[in-house]
Structure 1
Amino acid sequence: MAWSAVDVLVLGSNTGEVLLAIASSEEAVLKGFRASDSPIKFIAMDSRLQYMAVVTGKQEVSFFEFEPSSAQWHSLVYLPSDERVPANAEITSIHWDPSFRSEFEDHSVQLVVSYDTGYIMTWCIDFAEGDATVIRSAQIAVAPIYAGHLSPNGSLFVYQSPEPGLQVCDLALSSQAVSFVDSENTIEYPRNIRFMYSGDWLLTSGKGKLSLWHVASRTSARTIDLDRRIHPPNVVIINIKLDKDRRAILDRKDRNKSAAAPGGEVEVVD
C-alpha cells in the first residue's frame, strides 16, 4: 500500500490485483485490474502517474502504462534478469528515479531496485523499444538489505542491514557513504523512513521513538519519545504534514555540529 499522489492510494492484493482508491471532496472511487496470478509484494508509480512497476515472486517486475483514452492500464514489458543477481535473490524495494530526465522522457524511465543479496541496481527502461539496461550497480559489503529508500534527488539510497543504524549508498559513485549512526538495530521489523524538504531531512522510526536527521551532516537533530502506553512501541505508519512557512536552516556558526530542525507536524499510527 502506498500514496502515489495527494489523492491516489494504491493497494496490491495477495490475489494479484492492483486497486487504486481515488479520493476527492465529493467521492472516493475504487478502480483496479489484475496484474499477476501471484501475490503482489511492491508497487511503485512514477510522479506523472503514467507508469506502474509491480513486483511479484522473488524478483519478477512487470510494467504497466495508463492509457487516458480508455482509462485502462496496459501491460508493457518485464524487467529482465541480470547475471550478477543470483536466481534465489529477492527484491526488497523498487523506486522510480525522480531526478531522471531524458530527451525520450515520454517513454524512457529509470528504476532503482535493491536485492537482499546486497545489489542495488539502476535500470534504464525504454518502453518504446522494449529494452531494459543496467546503467549503474553497487554491491554493499554487509548483506542482506532488509528495506531501502531513495532520496528525492536520486543520489542516495538509505537502507537497513545487519549493521546498526541506517546505511547509505551513494548511487552516483556506486560506493558506501557515511551512515546514520544509531545505537539500536531494529531489524525485527522495517524502520519507517521519510525524506523531508527535498531530501534535506530524514525522519525515521525506532523502538518507541522518532528521530529527525540532517542528511548532509548525518546529524541527529531531534528525538521524539513516544507514549510508552503504546504496546508494543512499533510505529507502522509515519504521516508528515509540513509547515510551508518554515524551512530547514543550518546553524551557520557550526554546520558540522548542529542543524535547526524544520517546522511541521508528525502523526504516528500504531
Structure 2
Amino acid sequence: MDWFYAIVYGIVEGITEFLPISSTGHLIVAGNLMGVPWPKEVKDTFEVVIQGGAILAVLAYYWRDFVQQGRDIGRDRPTQRLWLGVIVACIPAVILGLLFGDAIKAALFRPSVVAWALIVGGVLMWLIESRRVTPNIHNIKNIGVGRSFLIGAVQCLALLWPGFSRSASSILGGMVMGLDRPTATQFSFYLGVPTLGGAALLDFIRSRDLLAQIGLVNVLLGAVTSFVIAYLAIGWLLRFVSTNNFKGFAVYRVVVGVLILVLIAAGVMSNGSLA
C-alpha cells in the first residue's frame, strides 16, 4: 500500500500547496483518515520532501520569466529589488523554523489545531475580501523590499499555526498591503520557491535513510504526482483570481474545519499528535 499512500499524498500536496487552504493541514488529516502505518518521522519527512515536486511545478510554470530575470538581474533594478525582496521575506520563516519547528510539530500537528486554523483563517479571508479597498500594486516588481519583508512575516502564521496555510497568509498579507489578487498570488508562488524548496532539499539530504524505509521509488512517485497536480493547480488558480475573489475558499475552510471537529467528536478521527 505504500505506493497508494504516496500517490494520495502527492495529489493532496499538489492541489493544496498553492491554494489558500493549507497543504500541511490537509496532509495531516489525510494521513489520519487513511491510517498511514509509516513511522511518524518517516511520514513527516515524506510530507516535506514531496513539496519539492510542487516547487518544481512553479519553476516549470514560470521558467520563461525566471530565465529572463536571470539575464536581467545584473542590470535591472526592479528585478534586483524583486529577488532581494523574496530573499528578505524568507528570513522570518527560516528563523522561526530553526528555533521552534520541532516543538511546533510535536505540540500542534493534530487535527483539532488544523480545524481551528482553517476556521479562523476562513473568517479572516472573508473579512479581508469584504473590504472596499482599491489595490495600488499590480506588478510583482513594484512590491518593494520592505513590503516583501512584512508579507514574509505574515507568512509565519502558517508555521506557528498548522492549518492556517502559507499561501493564504502570504496572499492575504499581500492584499492587505495593497497588492491586487493576481500579484499577491504570484508573489506567494515566488516566495514558496526558496522557503519550501530549501526545506524539501534539506530534509531529503538529512533523512534519506528514513525515506528508504518506504522506498525511494515511492518518494519519487509522490513527488512526481505532486508536480503534475501542482502545475495544473497553479494555472487554474491564476485564471481564477483574475476574475474571482477568495470568498469561496473562505467558506470551504470553515466547512472543512467544522467537519473535522465533528469527526473528532464522533470518534471517526483521532486527535493525537501526528508529529
TM over 0.5: no
User: Which structure has the bigger radius of gyration?
Assistant: 1
TM-score, normalised via structure 2 length:
0.20
Please give the TM-score of this superposition, normalised by the length of structure 1: 0.20
Structure number with the higher helix fraction is 2
More strand by share: 1
Q: Does 1 or 2 have the higher relative contact order (CA < 8 Å, sep 6+)?
A: 2
